[in-house]
Each structure stands twice: as C-alpha cells, then as structure tokens.
Structure 1
C-alpha cells in the first residue's frame, strides 16, 4: 500500500492522504480580505485529491503583511470571507489549514509583478516595519526594534487570529516561522542582535516563537492540530543551522506543536542555495530526529515516486508541494494513479479515472 496515500491522524482529525498543498501567497487580497480568486484557487486542489490544503501566509496584524495585497485575519470581515472557502475545501474531501504570519522586516514590500521593487513607501500605502533588531533586509527600508510591549502584542495577535481561524472553520493552524519573516528573524543571529531575554542564546532567540506556540495551542484547545514552519538553515555563514532547527523543533513540540513543516532560507539576500529535486528533504530528516518529531518535507518534490520514496525512507511524515500543484491542480489524483493507489475521485471526474 502506498504510504503517500495512507491516512494520517493528528489529534482530532484524520487527513485522507499525505500529499498536501503548501501555503502560497497570491497577493490578490483587498484590505486583507480574500477574493473570488482565492476561492477557486484553493478549492481546486481539494477537487484534485489533496489531503490538506493550507491557505497562504495570513497576516495577524496589518503591519505583518508582506505586501499591501496580502490576506489577513485581524478582523471579522476577513474571518467571514474565509468561511465559504473552508466550506468548499471540506465539500471536496480535504482538510483546510491556514498559515498565520507576521513578515517583520520583510513586510511592506511590493508584490512580485509590481513595477517597483523593495519597500513600499507610505505615499503608496506602505508602513514602518518591525523586527527583533533595527537591521534591514538588503534593499528594504530599516525596521524599528520591537520593545517588550510590542512583542506581547504580537503574541496576543496570533492568539486572536487563531481563534478567528477556528471560527471560520479551519482544521489546522500553522505558525509561519520560516523564510526570513518575523520569527525566523528572531531565531537567526544574523538578524537578531538583541541583548535581552530574546537575543543571544538559542533558547532566548526561540523564546518568542515558543510563546506564540503556547498562545496558539491555548486558543486551539486540545483537538486542533498546530504546525510550525521553520527554515532549517539560512544558507549563509553564521546563520541559523539545521542542528539548531532540530533543537527548536523539539522545543516546539514540547510546547504543543504537532508537526514541524521544514523549509529553508529567505533570511538574507546573500544566501547561497544549491537547488535540486528534493533539496530540502535532508533538512526535514535532521529535524525529524529518527521519527521523534513529526515533520513534513517540501522543496522541488514533483513526482509521485519521489514523494513516496521520501516517506518510505523515513525522512518525513508528509509531503508539502507548491509549484507542482500550480502546474497540475490534480497532482494527487495523478500521483495516486501512477502509484496504483485507489483513492476516491470526484464523481464528476470518474470518466478520466476509468478510461
């Protein structure tokens, strides 16, 4: 039997398979409110057989958005706009997750297809960003250092957004601690130069992330799975390492996280990444610690046999994919066919299954 198409139970939910959709920013919201684009975009993956569909990085406060076009979950209008999307995912048999996020010093930037690059000025709807230290990402405006009250407000914002996500019907909550955004900025000594209890040692640099895990777990209760996405290396000298990531992953699970979603990079412009199929799978294996910590793998996983092998060799417990789902929204149905796994097809599509 295919491991990729075996169910996975986490707390109160059972996900129908282990081929999942990564959160992917669409930069198509209006005032943080999702639009029709998001509905079609996310529901199609559930029709295509995904086990879990995780909605894109969703800002918990306005100043946490990567761009002015990012989605948010800091008010009830945004919550209510998410609800029919969640219903559409559920109606097609998949579980629905959402990635709660704060971009820190990488906020207030232009969306990818804008004519400009770098930070959006206030005159164009931008804002002053915040970070662990007043150190800018290369090419972006310098951020303001978060004080203790500001840190407390971030923790509370994640808790409030988590509650709104549950009210919208989401099954899984993911905390975004990767790709150079706020919690990653705290974790890495390249961006965290603080001298207080949030800087210096790894324990101190992880303190904010773990406080947020505690807060989201408290909001979620005992039934709802909580994931944490981390960048397991900065791909830069002197940065956050995969060995540190394994330690932080262990701490996060002790604080109530159920799975560590292992990615990498995004913190500094001078990162040097060797990209090849499955290039981040060894990082997931390191964080997994021989099976002690549940993890997902991601990163140029584009084929059924490849995904199956990652699970078979014990490198991960589930597979997240991104670009391959954009190329083929029915990636899971195709992968199941290639692996000879029997899965439920939408009855509207069964003629393609049998003929």
Structure 2
C-alpha cells in the first residue's frame, strides 16, 4: 500500500494534460494559490472537489490520491519477518502498537490481517501479564471474525477459523472451539487429488504433480503432528505413548523430517524425553535431550521450511504460505531453553552431570 500522495499525482496529471495551474483552478472554481498549495502538499482539496479532479483527469479517486488499501504478498512476508524479529529487540508494547496501527491502516487487506493474526497468536505470551495476554487474544478473535465475515476468500476464512480456535483454547474456552470446528471429525475430501486430476485433463502435468506433492506433504505433517499429540496426551498409558513415539520416529526417518521440518523433530525429542523421564528411564530421557540440543544447535537455524529430493516441487507453495519461522530466532532460542530443558518435568534430572552439560551447551548457544 502506498501513502496518500495527492500532490505528486496532481502535478504529474496536470503536466500530462498540458495545462497550467491557472487553467486547473478555473475548471475547479478555486484560486491558483489553492492549486499551488495542493501540489506542494501544504493543504488538501476539499472533499467535494475530489470527484471533479478525478473526472477531469479520467482517473478514480483512489488513483488521484495514490491510495490502495492492499499490500503485495511479498511485502506482507517481509513485514511479518521484520515484526517477528522486533519482538526480540524492541519493547513488546511498541511492536503491538505498530501492529494495531497497521490493522487500522490496512483494515481491508485481508491477507495482511491473517498474518497479523498469526503474529499475535505466536507472540501474545510475551505480554507482561495474564490480563494483557487475554486482551490480545480477544482482539485476535475479533479480527478473525472480521476476516471470516468480510474477506470473501474461502482459504483466508479457513485460516481465520483455525487461528480463532487456537485463541479460544488459550482463553480456556473449549466449547467455542467445538462450535467453530465441530464436535467430530468428518471424512477428509481428496481436494488435492481432484485438483491434480483437473490439471492433468487440461494437459498441465507439471501443475498436477506439484499439487499431488503439496497435498501429500500436508498429510505427512498432519500425521506426524497427530502422533505427537497422542504421545503428549497418553501420559497415563506408557505403552501407548511409547508406540506413538516409535511410530513418529519411523515416520521422521522415512520422510527425512529433520530436513523437511526440524521443528517437528525437536518436538519429538522433547516429548519423548518427558515420557521416558516420567517413567524413570532417565538415561533414555537424557539421550533424547542430547538429540534435542544437538538438533537445535546444529541443524535448526536459519529456520525455513523447504522440500527435499522427494518433495522437489513444493517450495513455491511453501514460500507462498510463509515458510519462514513464525517467531524471531532469538525468541525461539529462549523458548528452546525455557520451555523444554528448564521445564519442571525434568526436575528429577537437575543433579545429573549429563543434563547440566546439556543446559550449559544450550545457554552458550543462545548467548547467555
């Protein structure tokens, strides 16, 4: 989106038309001094003159004001990356104030609003108090509702529903999550397969292959996340939890998860370590925490989702979806230590020399 820049547009269009300030003033019914002030940015025309000026130059009022309520997707991606980094380097409320100003300024640029919803969802926990966190989450819910009601874009609306559900979970409103998503799982429709077949019939084999790869990639990631959820929730059933861990480990190896999505891999190590620690298998827990730290230190940054030798057609789709990390590198590093290694679940390992070495290694990595 460009800033309102009526002055330069007036100058350019008047010169393009080959008229003087006097002639333009006479047509509009104002003094030459008024036109001069408009063109130098000292003042703006009265709102009633805008239709006359736009009609005279055969342009829209938006064009006259050099105003567009939209932002290009590439600019949105750059803005998201910059704001995510700002959360690690600037006061939290300053960044939130800038986000609020952007929401007001680009209130009908729905692709941007979805990314700001994503930004809030990934950073609300940095707010100073629980009350402030809840305020931000409620503001995010309101923004999600606007996107669903007014964007007119099915995919953006779906994303908004998902983020709204995440916010409702964080706000401890489980019934609202069920109201949004339904109380049961419906059969998945093979939309990607149908789209790919449509491209195939049209003779666009390359696009058909890309679509199939993209859908398969998503199914793999959903299956992996599902296994992690089973592992996390089966705390009272060690055998079931361990089976989920082993199956996820196999899936990670089969699909080269460390390269496709290293965040999934470190989550697997962290959850596996918690499971084994809770069942007094301390040596196995420390082994997995060692894998966790090694992956964080050596194979995680710079974080950006991408394909591999098998998923060799999905990079454009990932880039369009926003493949960069949802939070800044420093914020992620702090979370790696705070939320995992320093988690109370590992209190029984505090005196273990191997565990202390892992903590020290991570502290050096994040610059403490």
Normalising by the residue count of structure 2, what TM-score does the alignment of the two structures yield? Answer: 0.27
Higher relative contact order (CA 8 A, sep 6+): 1
Identify, as 1 or 2, the structure richer in helix.
2
TM-score by length of 1: 0.28
